Structure 1
Amino acid sequence: MTEILPPVTDPALLGELDVLARRHRAAGGVVMQVIGYVGTSAESLLEKLPAPVRAGLEGATERALEGAMVAAGRSRGIVADRPDWMNRTLTAAMGAAGGAGGLASSLAELPFTVTMLLRAIQGIAAEHGFDPASEEVRVECLRVFASAGPLEGDDGMDLSFLAARATITGPSMRSLVAKVAPRLSAVLGQKLAAQAAPVLGAVAGAAVNYAFTSYYQEIARVHFGLKRLARDSGTDEGVLREELVARITT
């Protein structure tokens, strides 16, 4: 028989959940609405990308994620975590450089941007008291990418990143990368299409990367904020998750 857990009634916990819900909604706020215009334009350009690029995008994303998991982890012993604004600035500069050279340089820039995003997510995990070097937290960092991206046509309310945890093993990690890659590749395809636009490539690359970083940093703060709340309060994470989802969707 499934155990029925009591609902959350502590006013302090409910207040914390309200804060996380507002942060989640803010991730798709004014900045994302502006960048969403670029996303809409990029979506119409997506079919104009060379067929080999479109066909290989998912595989390239999967390889970028796998490489980012290694590179981001190794860099933690060399470079200290940076504040949010610096991560946004650095990724925007990367996007501008990638977009300036058109499609070829945008493709070359892609794995570096993914690594920067993952490193920023790992920094937020550490900020909330979790060890990014542990296998479990590495999986949780990767799971943040399962959320809707900043250039999605919907309102970004996909809550799959809040799904119940899977068993954490090596094969599970590879399986999660394979599951996240199609989702992320669709968003990265829009990024590439925007950067491939004549003249505006550098501007679009900077804007899209800025949006990506802002969005995933906010989603990471929701994700690890929820986990910290469960850890510190001793409340079942699943119960808190349900309460959070209810607040986000109402």
Structure 2
Amino acid sequence: MPPTDLVTLDVTRDIALLARRHRAARSVGMQVLNLIGGRAENLLERLPDPVKDQLETATSRALEGALRAAQASRGVIPDQKGWLNTAVTTAMGAMGGAGGLPTALAELPVTTTVLLRAIQGIAAEHGFDPDDPAIQKEALSVFASAGPLADDDGADMAFLTARITLTGATVHGLIARIAPRLATVLGQKLAAQTVPIIGAAAGAATNYAYTSYYQSMAHVHFGLFALAERSGQTREALGAALRDEIRRQIR
């Protein structure tokens, strides 16, 4: 078999694997919605208006702080296994949910930092340097995906080929673009953690879902990035192939 055919087969196989990982990323999120007995689009209505009004600002601050803390910790704390990241954030989610909205708000930036460190660790796992400013922006862009409680697969696709919009963007400018979408996603998390009676359980389940989701999406993002480098194909072309494969698997 000619080498070009082998490359094509490898790319097709890897795209299929990434598509399966992408589709599986939200399965836990749907279980969370079943636990709290709600719909994702209605969760934000459970939050007080002052909290909703400040979500975007709080999200921007959380991302800025997470980036500083994640980078500072890299020389001190090694990257952890995915299961350990999930265990840590699950425990934090339980504590955050146990005290209602005040403790959930206090827990939010800490969880965001752990998630970003996990995403950076996955970048390193795929052969990229998390200290490279371009990879730092790539890691942040994973937060542009729609979140584990969304049901629109197409909403996740923009971040997969985000290299075009990353070009020349400052980290601060990228955070400003990501914050509005992530604010909605994190608002859903906060609302789930404040469900009466089961707040701690909902907080644990929500953080488990969010950590599983963003780690899976990081594997898809950086897996696609690495595949582009190995195959010589553009990320845009591979992103289009991934979209097609996800649709094919859904059918």
Cα distance between partner residues in 1 of 2:40 and 2:24: 23
Corresponding residue of 1:48: 46
Corresponding residue of 1:157: 154
The question of whether the paired residues in 2 share the 8 Å contact of 1:39 and 1:194 is answered with no
Cα distance between partner residues in 2 of 1:149 and 1:47: 17
Aligned pairs for 1:156-235 within 5 A: 156-158=153-155, 159-165=157-163, 166-169=165-168, 171-235=169-233
Shift of 1:163: 2.9
Cα distance between partner residues in 1 of 2:131 and 2:112: 18
Cα distance between partner residues in 2 of 1:201 and 1:104: 12
Shift of 1:114: 0.6
The question of whether the paired residues in 2 share the 8 Å contact of 1:149 and 1:156 is answered with no
Task: Give the share of equivalent positions with the same residue, in percent.
Answer: 54
Shift of 1:207: 0.3
What is the TM-score with the length of structure 2 in the denominator? 0.90
The question of whether the paired residues in 2 share the 8 Å contact of 1:81 and 1:120 is answered with yes
Corresponding residue of 2:135: 137
Corresponding residue of 1:4: none
Cα distance between partner residues in 2 of 1:125 and 1:59: 27
What is the TM-score with the length of structure 1 in the denominator? 0.90
Corresponding residue of 1:21: 19
Aligned pairs for 1:71-150 within 5 A: 71-150=69-148
Moved more, 109-118 or 188-197: 188-197
Q: Judging changes above 3 Å, is the alpha-carbon distance between structure 1 residues 168 and 26 closer, same or farther for their aligned structure 2 residues?
A: same
Q: Judging changes above 3 Å, is the alpha-carbon distance between structure 1 residues 113 and 164 closer, same or farther for their aligned structure 2 residues?
A: closer
The number of residue pairs the alignment matches comes to: 240
Cα distance between partner residues in 2 of 1:148 and 1:44: 16
- Unpaired segments of 5 or more residues in structure 2? 1-5
Structure 1 moving runs of 4+ over 4 Å: none
Provide Cα deviations, 1:176-231, integer angstroms capped at 9, x if missing partner: 11111111111111111111122211111100000000001111000000111111
- Unpaired segments of 5 or more residues in structure 1? 1-7
2:113 alignment partner, SS class: helix
1:10 alignment partner, SS class: helix
Shift of 1:172: 2.9
Shift of 1:39: 7.7
Corresponding residue of 2:236: 238
Moved more, 40-49 or 192-201: 40-49
Cα distance between partner residues in 2 of 1:23 and 1:215: 10
Aligned pairs for 1:21-40 within 5 A: 21-29=19-27, 31-37=28-34, 38=36, 40=38
Q: Judging changes above 3 Å, is the alpha-carbon distance between structure 1 residues 41 and 77 closer, same or farther for their aligned structure 2 residues?
A: same
Shift of 1:41: 5.1
**AA matched with 2:154:** M
Moved more, 117-126 or 10-19: 10-19
The question of whether the paired residues in 2 share the 8 Å contact of 1:43 and 1:193 is answered with no
Provide Cα deviations, 1:92-134, integer angstroms capped at 9, x if missing partner: 0010111111111110100001111111100000000001111
Provide Cα deviations, 1:56-105, integer angstroms capped at 9, x if missing partner: 01100011011111111111111111111111100000101111111111
2:170 alignment partner, SS class: helix
**AA matched with 1:35:** V
Shift of 1:232: 1.9
